[in-house]
Amino acid sequence: MSLPSLASTYGPWLISLLLETILYGIGIAQTILYVQRRPTTDSWSVKGPVVIVTFLETVQISFFFSSTYYRFVQRFGEPPGDLIWSDSLQLLADYLTAFAVQMYSAWRIHILTSKADRMRRIFLVGTYLVILLAFVQISAGIAQTILSYQLRSFSKLGQTKATTTLQTAASLACDVVIMLLPCMFLALNKDRMERDETKKKMNSVMMNAVIRGMLTAASSAVTMILFLVYPDTYWFFLSLAPNSQLYMNCMLATLNMRQHNRDMASPNGEDGMELSQLSTGRSVVNSPVVFAGSGDEEETLPGTTTESAYPSTDCTATATA
């Protein structure tokens, strides 16, 4: 069997390295922005995932650079084809980042929809489905990492089609469900909101959820297609390598947009927006929408009363990470 050309191996490799480096730089900038602007109410349930994802992405790109140095410096002029330990570790860090963001999203979706009066069971099943798909994704990813380390050759990666297809398909399905659940919840409750500013805010959150969900889902889909259609090449790196950086940037962008969401919903400097008598099936709620809070507890305006708790739209923002 003839060796693959440089254009189909190291060409996509270098392009992937460029894309990943750019996205990692953007992610670090967003991390710094989060540290500078994070609300004081942010608990470790929010800060923890940020630390974990940033650490994993630093590990991932470090091993990618290590692997690149090995191929282009230590083995300069030799034909491509072998897999080394740093390849497997950067692949594992990629899968772990996706798993961390997906589990964080499942938790935020649960907080958002736990008190829904309509379709509560559907939202609960959807949350469990996200968790199940996330575990399938990481399990297949770990299996893929072990197999690739044992094979020690890019030319033999075709033997891992089953695990690669399972991992990318599970990740794709998980991202689609994460995208749909907050949109369904907001669409069900948007008609109860009287103020145009609040409706505008909800439309913005829904659009952001769709865009971010489509980015990560499309990345998984393209990886699966390129891996199956172009075997024995590195074309699948074009979407696989930047995939974890997309997860990182989507989560951090959602967290960093909370202040913008509050300003858009309260243009006159108000503390919150009134939800228009949302029925929970037990009582009528006159409760504000709070866009700046970040803790798990609900915030209310001074002088307002709430008969039944309703999740703040901070949950909406962070659920779409």
Q: Domains (ranges, CATH) in the chain?
A: 6-268+315-319 (1.20.1070)
**Residues 39-65: pLDDT tens digits?**
777 888 888 999 999 999 999 999 999
Q: Is the pTM of this model over 0.75?
A: yes
Q: How confident is the model at residue 126 (pLDDT cuts 50, 70, 90)?
A: very high
276 pLDDT higher than 70:
no
Residue 120 is encoded by which pair of tokens?
A: 């509560």
- What is the token pair recorded at 41? 């109410």
Contact 242, 20 (CB under 8 A): yes
Query: Cα(127)–Cα(109) distance, rounded to whole angstroms?
Result: 7
96: tokens are 């772990």
> Which residues lie across from 278 on neighbouring strands?
285
pLDDT of residue 277: 36
Token output for 296? 């798990």
The helix or strand, by DSSP H or E, that contains position 201, with its residue range, turns out to be helix 196-229
**Do 54 and 27 form a contact (C-beta atoms < 8 A)?**
yes
pLDDT at 302: 39
Give the residue from 313, 269, 321, 320 showing the smallest Cα distance to 292. 313
Using an 8 Å Cβ cutoff, are 287 and 304 in contact?
A: yes
- Whether the CB-CB separation of 219 and 19 falls below 8 Å is answered with no
